[in-house]
Amino acid sequence: MIGWTPIVEIRYVPLPNRVRVLAKLEYLNPGGSVKDRLGAYLLKHALNEKHISPKGNIIEPTAGNTGIGLALAAVGTDITVYCIVPEGFSLEKQQMMRALGAKVIQTPRSLGMQGAIDYAHSLSQKLPDSYCPEQFSNTANPLTYYETLAPELWSQVDGEIDIFVAGAGTGGTFTGTAKYLKEKNAAIRTVIVEPEGSILNGGKPGPHRTEGIGMDRVSPIIQTDLFDGIHTIQDKDAFQIVRELARKEGLLVGSSSGAAFQAAVREAKSAPEGTTVVTIFPDGSERYLSTGIYEEEKDEKEN
């Protein structure tokens, strides 16, 4: 059931004349995100490369969706998945990892993602037959999207795509997909999206409410020559459009989808008539209800 997610045209949120914006609904994967694809690939890679035995342990630092993807991939196997999650990320995601049989270990919020990465390394040294796939540096990550999401997208739009817009956390989705699309048609403009508090546009690393995207250093798997544009989206703009996507389109998406859509709208505004912009909606809003994703007051406090 992983993959072949539908692609929809945004129709009711006002857009500049004659520019189409299409979104691939990755939240319709069985574990609810674009990272189900990665979980399946990382597990297969760990076994094929003999990093672990079929009864081994996979340890991954994750804000959530990759952990859910790995846990899902391990269902029905004898592999144990350990998800190392920094405090402060959505609780629903941790509940889902546990529901799928993974072990969840929280690391202090003050140490950020690096704290989770360090913990994962020290645990893998102690635990026999264990492996950290390290999505941030594993080339299986962009390859997942190059081999699955990108060809699906290409065939779903019959090659009619002018601009591709995607958010980046590890950069796997953007890099794998943009590389494939450029190989098909070098004229396609590929645009990367980050939240405020991320460094790709020269900003300083800092906190943000948009979950799943943002970098505090350039990810080693990212290909910067694929950046034809970079949009940095404020949290309040991502959350405002998340609410609009629900009310006007019936699309219940997470905040990184909101950021991607805001960037797609910005691209649409400066594009000529007849342009087709395609973006990715990586996950859904249900896993963020406890964080107040639909509560407008949160944004008002920020302003």
Catalytic residues: 35, 256
Q: Residue type at 192?
A: I
Among 3-11, 102-110, 151-159, 208-216, the segment contacting ligand PMP (CB under 6 A): 208-216
- Residue 254 interacts with ligand PMP (CB under 6 A)? yes
Among 10, 21, 22, 35, binds ligand PMP (CB under 6 A): 35
Helices (H), the chain: 35-48, 65-74, 91-99, 112-126, 140-147, 149-156, 172-184, 235-244, 255-269, 296-302
Binding mask 158-187 for ligand PMP (x = CB under 6 A): ---------xxxxxxxx-------------
- Residue 197 interacts with ligand PMP (CB under 6 A)? no
- Residue 67 interacts with ligand PMP (CB under 6 A)? no
Q: Is 92 exposed, middle or buried (0-12, 13-18, 19+ CB in 10 A)?
A: middle
Q: Please report, for residues 69, 116, 206, the alpha-carbon distance to residue 83 in angstroms, rounded to integers and kept in the order given.
A: 11, 9, 24
Residue nearest to ligand PMP (CB): 212
- Residue 31 interacts with ligand PMP (CB under 6 A)? no
Q: Is 281 helix (H, G, I), strand (E, B) or coil?
A: strand
What number of chain residues touch ligand PMP (CB under 6 A)?
Answer: 18
Q: Is 143 helix (H, G, I), strand (E, B) or coil?
A: helix
Nearer to ligand PMP, 19 or 70 (CB): 70
- Residue 65 interacts with ligand PMP (CB under 6 A)? yes
Decide: 283 and 260 in contact? Cβ < 8 Å.
no
- Residue 213 interacts with ligand PMP (CB under 6 A)? yes
Return the closest-CA partner of residue 162 out of 71, 267, 236.
267
Nearer to ligand PMP, 56 or 195 (CB): 195
- Residue 212 interacts with ligand PMP (CB under 6 A)? yes
Q: Is 17 exposed, middle or buried (0-12, 13-18, 19+ CB in 10 A)?
A: exposed
Site for ligand PMP, residues 263 to 292, rule: CB under 6 A: 282-283
- Residue 198 interacts with ligand PMP (CB under 6 A)? no
> Within a 10 A sphere around the Cβ of 252, how many other Cβ atoms?
18
- Residue 94 interacts with ligand PMP (CB under 6 A)? no
User: Minimum distance between the CB of residue 47 and ligand PMP, rounded to whole angstroms?
Assistant: 22
The residues binding ligand PMP (CB under 6 A) are 33, 35, 65, 167-174, 211-213, 254, 256, 282-283
